[in-house]
Structure 1
Amino acid sequence: MQVPISKQLRQFRKLSVGLKDAYSGSDARSRVQQFDGWTGRASSGDADTTDYDHADTVKEYYDLCTEVMVFGWGESLHFAPLSPHESLEQSKLRHQRLMISKLELQEGMEVIDIGCGIGGPMRQVVREAAVKVVGVNSSEYQLEKAKSLNAAAGLDHMVEFLACSFMDMGAVADGTFDRGYAIESTCHAPDKQGAFAEIFRVLKPGALLWGQEMCMTDEFDPDDDRHQALKEELRHGIALNDIATMDEVDRALEAVGFEVLEAKDHAVAEDGPTTPWYQPMSSQRNTLGNALRRTPLGRRTLFGVTKVAEVVGVFPKGAADVIRLMDRTANAYVAGGKTGIFSPLYCFLARKPF
């Protein structure tokens, strides 16, 4: 089914407005260039770069890229195990409902959303479980967007926000929350064990934590140059300080006191046919509108259109550079998925002991 031209134009207009709001007249092109150099600054031993802060790099990544991510992927900025009979949106909803079920949420509970993004999963959690949520995020832009979307959905009275890094939630008292979840957020931690220790601190005894991590799989061979190159491309394109193995995630959880109740790579099928998690970024098996936003040809077309739109002032200067960055990242995702060395779907359920 093709998307009407009028709907496509509305989507482009919404992207244009969103990018202008996100960049607020700043030089996005130079900001992308600065972001592209983060790996060098992080590894440099020069005196001028010893104060490198990875949290700032992650914040800049999302401030730059959120609107393009939403344009291509929707309000829930995470991967999900895909079914041949579902749309991407339906698969993400099914995955969120799995999380809600595993957390055993009950009405009135206090829940922390660690690295809440613009709140796509949060809104589903509030709708289906009638719990109160506190969203933690260091990106002020994402927080303001989440607040606006929550208000539009009539859910703002159920949600509060904390503008800080999840590495240091000092404003939150020990043992505050009944439940917690971290969807593709703690993978950004400069110190995974430190992140889990801070989450452990703010949860009540007996509380459950659901996490979704980006990991290297057992197929990753550190002695394989191609594997290492792909890992570095992923690390750069997603602003990850490192990419842990699944065993390393489990060990970090256990080291701070969590009991890991279950953990699995949801990218690996147990029964029945599945669609590779990276398929929307690699295949033409999309509606016309989605193909224009997600596939390699669509991304290249969007880059070209955006370059022209920058000249006439429809898109802010530097928007095309952000789209090119996202295209490079999408290619890295697909390569990592096709080789089997990377998965964004390592999900765990852990408990803080009583």
Structure 2
Amino acid sequence: MKTSEAGKRVDLYGASYRNFASELYSEIRREAFGEDIGQTGWVTAEEQDLFISWLHLARSSQLLDLACGSGKPTLRIAQKTGCHVSGVDLHADAIASAKATARELGYEGRTKFYQGNAAEHLAFMNATFDAVTCIDAINHLPDRANILAEWCRVLKPGGRLLFTDPIVLTGPVTNAEIAVRASIGHFVFVPAGLDEALLKEAGFAVEHVEDRTPNMAANAQGWLAARARREKALREIEGDEVFAGQQRFLETAALLASERRLSRFAILARRSS
């Protein structure tokens, strides 16, 4: 890998959301993840079902999904549980997709999607939500201690927080590997155990931590292979530079996860009071 290539910024999310509804990208998601639930991270339908079981959501529950992406995974939770959902994402194309899908499903009355930055003050009253989720995105948000305190603020006492952190350092990683792994945006790499310590400082009781690294390794490899099989079509849509950058990113993500040097953990916590 050339050093000049390693640090190039890659437009993974912009390219994904602009072409999200196309059959080509849906086909890639189905092949990579086993089922297309509109994901742009490492979550599968089976894994999301596991996470739903941890949250104990009812029809009356209010769920906030931060960095919700296309909104389809969020809406799937609403379909599975009947709960009310709100989603926040930075990308305008992602929120437009989320609102369009909510209309198609007839879920506009039980869903709200907002364009906004999950790293900043959230435009919700204190103690609004029964659950907050953030899947494969906390690593993009700076100042983690303040972010967790803000998430605690919008949760009701006893409310649950579930997030996945896919950038936990559990082995040696080179500067070139870090540059590629962080090429799709702002990244915060943390050592094992830091998330749990910061949660306690923010007013949470940590209830469960589960290593989901094998899921990330398999999905990164599957995503890489599914895209490689459609290289010509993707190059025409994304351009040579973006296509090559995304492939480098996925190859490095798969390698680091399979070797357990960068790990992914799912963490469930409860607001203490």
2:75·2:85 contact (CA, 8 Å) conserved in 1?
no
Matches within 5 A, 1:179-328: 179-218=131-170, 220-221=171-172, 227-236=174-183, 238-267=184-213, 276-281=218-223, 291=226, 294=227, 296=228, 298=229, 300-304=231-235, 306=236, 315=237, 319-328=239-248
In the TM superposition, residue 255 of structure 1 has moved relative to its aligned partner by 1.9
2:165·2:266 contact (CA, 8 Å) conserved in 1?
yes
The structure in which a higher percent of residues are strand is 2
Q: 1:303, 1:121 → 2: CA distance?
A: 24
Candidates 96, 100, 112, aligned match of 2:52: 100
2:166·2:262 contact (CA, 8 Å) conserved in 1?
yes
Q: 1:244, 1:342 → 2: CA distance?
A: 10
Change (3 A) 1:332 1:145: same
Q: 2:54, 2:169 → 1: CA distance?
A: 23
2:221·2:251 contact (CA, 8 Å) conserved in 1?
no
Residues matched between the structures, number: 256
Q: 1:115, 1:282 → 2: CA distance?
A: 23
Matches within 5 A, 1:153-192: 153-192=105-144
The aligned amino acid for 2:202 is V
The residue number in structure 2 matching 1:77 is: 40
Is 1:114 the counterpart of 2:77? The answer is no
Identity of aligned residues (%): 21
Q: Any idea what SS the aligned residue of 2:198 has? A: helix
Q: Any idea what SS the aligned residue of 1:107 has? A: coil
Candidates 266, 269, 273, aligned match of 1:347: 266
The residue number in structure 2 matching 1:129 is: 81
The aligned amino acid for 2:13 is Y
In the TM superposition, residue 170 of structure 1 has moved relative to its aligned partner by 4.1
The aligned amino acid for 2:93 is Y
Q: Any idea what SS the aligned residue of 1:276 has? A: helix
The residue number in structure 2 matching 1:146 is: 98
1:69·1:77 contact (CA, 8 Å) conserved in 2?
no
1:112·1:181 contact (CA, 8 Å) conserved in 2?
yes
The TM-score, its normalising length taken from structure 1, stands at 0.65
The residue number in structure 1 matching 2:32 is: none
The aligned amino acid for 2:164 is Q
Q: 1:278, 1:63 → 2: CA distance?
A: 18
In the TM superposition, residue 163 of structure 1 has moved relative to its aligned partner by 2.0
Change (3 A) 1:349 1:244: same
Deviations 1:239-261 (A, max 9, x none): 13322233122222222111111
In the TM superposition, residue 157 of structure 1 has moved relative to its aligned partner by 2.0
Change (3 A) 1:37 1:321: closer
Instruction: Give me the CA root mean square deviation.
Output: 2.7
The aligned amino acid for 1:77 is T
In the TM superposition, residue 67 of structure 1 has moved relative to its aligned partner by 4.0
Change (3 A) 1:155 1:201: same
Is 1:66 the counterpart of 2:17? The answer is yes
The aligned amino acid for 1:260 is V
In the TM superposition, residue 303 of structure 1 has moved relative to its aligned partner by 4.8
Change (3 A) 1:115 1:37: closer
1:77·1:120 contact (CA, 8 Å) conserved in 2?
no
Change (3 A) 1:328 1:279: closer
Q: 1:128, 1:303 → 2: CA distance?
A: 33
Q: 1:192, 1:324 → 2: CA distance?
A: 31
The aligned amino acid for 1:332 is T
Change (3 A) 1:324 1:37: closer
For structure 2, the residue ranges without an aligned partner over 5 or more in a row are: 30-35
